[in-house]
A and B are shown apart, each in its own frame.
Chain A
């Protein structure tokens, strides 16, 4: 792979223009019960300043990917560069340039809020004075002033998450990694965090975020890669993903009985204007279309005419969720 060796070079190599770049990145966990392929060859190219989202259900391989990019998981194949540095060959250079908010609470529970920030600043080479100044600035900006002297294990979930983000920003990282930053938070706190992330992004901060919340990816990210089973299924802006997947409304009707074979063709459903695809799946009939006016009613009519009893029916407007369904043929599982 000549392109790889060309990119892996030193100063001025193409990889340096990207904040994050991976080529065929893989991770297979060996275990006695058989190998687990957590990541099966991921290619990413995230330019500086982009807010990039890895969207996928739990267990899709997002955390493992972030682990490899942040040097805490060793890849078993492929290569990756962050801020122009190879994550395997030069992990220290990578760690100097990244801030990481892990999914689990990794705050130093033996220290206070202020000390968490001060010592992290000192780990990154700030002097005592500069560290305490930076800590004060972060505490103020993240609204933690009244918790300054609290031990880290006394914080609420939202406060702990804010402190983790503050801690990740101590040394002005080139790339901010956030693994499920709003998982387990109440909706209000989640929206607060979104606001913070938006401001950071407006200031030019490159951010890679993983999430299993569709609306989070839609609300925040410039570009999204949909990940499942360790592979990227689709990649692009929200608009592009919607367009690529047909940007369709999906009408789903569930019957009490299995849907007979060929029902859609027999009833002329596939020929109906605005309908692009019909899927029969057990007791479900899914219709993808761009013009669903009256479609739901027609489906009910078709079902009744063919002796089927309707259990429930739903209509999903074009969204990442319908895009995911179109890409994978599966319901999105959070």
Chain B
């Protein structure tokens, strides 16, 4: 039954917890006049992203450094030490040299996809905290592009960590020989590899049921990495011709091969046109797909 409760007047309720009427009123009468622009809002959203990353810096760093550290330790230190013969196949190339582009590609995938998908799972959970940013005065697609940008920056940072790790962690004489002749190519490959992984992350994060996310990561991330030419160049697969063709559907292959073309150009790699077509085309396709699925998920 309806009651006719008369709310107590301000100041009479809850002691010091009750807000003062005058200061509430001042919120309306004494308010700044906002002038949002697309760029200011975008920049503020990126600033928010880095504030959160900074706050989680220790765990972010550990997540980013563990994988390359262990890989370098096992493949560039332990295996050469125990004389497993694991390496460049008698070509005089250290395995670390082959591993650098591979590990970087794998970091792109891990950091770019994880960094984009995991926050989305939280934001789209039952509380839908995504609505906080969806109400910012920009089109929803700008929010999607902002998320891809933030994920891509995390991916680049993750991949860059590989350099110092592999440089320091290896058995004597087993260091990597990286030789960049074309910086422009390196930048193009890094930018598109990062954007492609972040786009894939946004797409997965918006189409996959959050409860199945763990399963999706197991089913997608593992094969992408293991069959992504991380531990061997694509050309070496010619002895298993069918596999060499099948792995072409793996976007990871083009990242690692692109990095090989930029970092170790002497060792042989997939044709440059194929790498760039796949990276740029893939970014365009998955980027626009992700922006659309994101929008559909935010606006019912």
Contacts and interface: CB of A to CB of B under 8 A. Distances in A.
Q: Which of B9, B28, B128 has the most CB of A within 10 A?
A: B28
A107 B129 contact: yes
A105 B18 CA distance: 21
Q: Which of B32, B36, B45, B127 has the most CB of A within 10 A?
A: B32
A140 B2 contact: no
Contact of B127 (A106, A142, A196): A106
A140 B19 CA distance: 8
A92 B137 contact: yes
Contact of B298 (A72, A105, A219): A72
Contacts of A110: 52, 55-56
A195 B7 contact: yes
Interface in B210-269: none
Given A111-B48, A126-B32, A171-B34, A137 B27 contact: yes
Contacts of B24: 141-142, 196, 199-200
A120 B48 CA distance: 10
A125 B129 contact: no
Interface in A146-171: 162, 169-171
Contact of A95 (B2, B27, B137, B300): B137
A195 B24 CA distance: 10
A217 to B, nearest CB: 10
A41 interface: no
A203 to B, nearest CB: 4
Contacts of A109: 122, 129
B41 A143 contact: no
A125 B35 contact: yes
Q: Which of A106, A126, A140 has the most CB of B within 10 A?
A: A106
A237 B47 CA distance: 46
A14 B210 CA distance: 45
A204 B28 contact: yes
A199 B23 CA distance: 10
Nearest to A323: B2
Contacts of B133: 123
A74 B8 contact: no
B56 to A, nearest CB: 8
Contacts of B126: 104
A143 B18 contact: yes
Contacts of B130: 106
Contacts of B16: 143
Given A195-B18, A203-B28, A96 B7 contact: no
A160 to B, nearest CB: 11
A189 to B, nearest CB: 8
A334 B92 CA distance: 78
B29 interface: yes
Interface residues of B, number: 61
Contact of A125 (B40, B45, B55, B139): B40
Contacts, number: 181
Contacts of A195: 7-10, 13, 18-19, 21
A109 B123 CA distance: 10
A102 interface: yes
A119 B27 contact: no
A71 B26 contact: no
A119 B2 contact: no
Nearest to A68: B300
Interface string B41-60: 10011011001100110000
A126 B27 contact: no
A192 B300 CA distance: 33
A200 B14 CA distance: 19
B20 to A, nearest CB: 7
A215 B5 CA distance: 7
Contacts of B135: 70-72, 95, 98, 100
B57 to A, nearest CB: 13
Contacts of A95: 135-138
B25 A199 contact: yes
Contacts of A204: 28
Contacts of B18: 143, 192, 195
Contact of A215 (B4, B9, B30, B132): B4
A138 B23 CA distance: 8
Q: Which of A110, A191, A203, A215 has the most CB of B within 10 A?
A: A110
Q: Which of B27, B30, B36, B41 has the most CB of A within 10 A?
A: B27
B300 A123 contact: no
Nearest to B52: A110
Interface stretch (A15-23, A227-235, A289-297, A314-322): A314-322
Interface of A: 29, 67, 70-74, 91-92, 95-96, 98, 100, 102, 104-111, 115, 119-126, 130, 133-134, 137-138, 140-143, 162, 169-172, 188-189, 191-192, 194-196, 198-200, 202-205, 214-215, 218-219, 314, 316, 319-321
24 contacts: A92-B137, A102-B128, A106-B127, A106-B128, A106-B131, A109-B129, A110-B52, A115-B51, A122-B47, A123-B44, A125-B36, A134-B32, A137-B30, A141-B20, A162-B19, A192-B17, A195-B9, A195-B19, A199-B25, A203-B25, A215-B2, A219-B7, A319-B2, A320-B2
Closest 9 CB pairs of A and B: A125-B36, A122-B44, A141-B23, A172-B31, A203-B28, A319-B2, A123-B136, A321-B2, A214-B2
Given A104-B126, A214-B2, 20 more contacts: A29-B300, A73-B299, A96-B36, A104-B131, A106-B127, A106-B131, A122-B41, A123-B36, A124-B136, A133-B32, A137-B27, A141-B19, A142-B24, A143-B17, A172-B28, A195-B7, A199-B21, A200-B24, A215-B3, A219-B5
